[in-house]
Amino acid sequence: MIDMCDGKLKLYSGVTETAVDWLWYPFIPYGKLTLLQGDPGCGKSTLMMNLIATASSGNCSPDGKKLKKPLHVIYQCSEDGISDTIKPRLLNAGADCNNVAFLDEETDWITLNDEKIRRAIADFNAPCNRPCSGVSGRNGYCQRGGHAKSASPTSSLGCYV
């Protein structure tokens, strides 16, 4: 093995191939970064609520695959009200709200690169969803409501974003 760039530069010949595990083939894999982007009003929230309902209740994914069991889901959205918008949408979509959590941002704003999110994912044993209605920018940041939020992968936690 050749040591290149102090071990930072590696050859693909040394990589062992692994299969991808899908929540929804071929759109949302487990353990990979997934961004849901689109113009306002195009259905991002509706799609997300339906995916959360499917995952939290253990129903079939949109590709018809029956989930092995209901999943814990962390849904973090800073744009809509928790009690007047998000929870009613979750209930309307058929989500099991006992399996859906969020981090309270009332006093402490968070980013996807935040240790609180890593801890919450690990504690709740959850895949997570984060729709992004803005445009993914440089340095891994997602523009939302005039604020840049980190869009770092959380694959080490088996999480989809």
Is residue 1 predicted with pLDDT exceeding 60? no
Q: Give the residue with greater pLDDT, 20 vs 126.
A: 20
The percentage of the chain sitting over the pLDDT mark of 70, rounded to a whole number, equals 73
* Max Cα distance, the chain (Å): 58
Dist. CA 1–CA 154, nearest whole Å: 29
Q: How confident is the model at residue 129 (pLDDT cuts 50, 70, 90)?
A: very low
Is residue 151 predicted with pLDDT exceeding 80? no
Encode pLDDT of 44-66 as tens digits. Answer: 999 999 999 999 999 998 899 99
Encode pLDDT of 69-121 as tens digits. Answer: 998 988 888 788 999 999 999 999 999 999 999 888 777 777 766 787 777 77
Dist. CA 129–CA 104, nearest whole Å: 15
> Is the Cβ–Cβ distance between 161 and 118 less than 8 Å?
no
The percentage of the chain sitting over the pLDDT mark of 90, rounded to a whole number, equals 34
> Is the Cβ–Cβ distance between 95 and 56 less than 8 Å?
yes
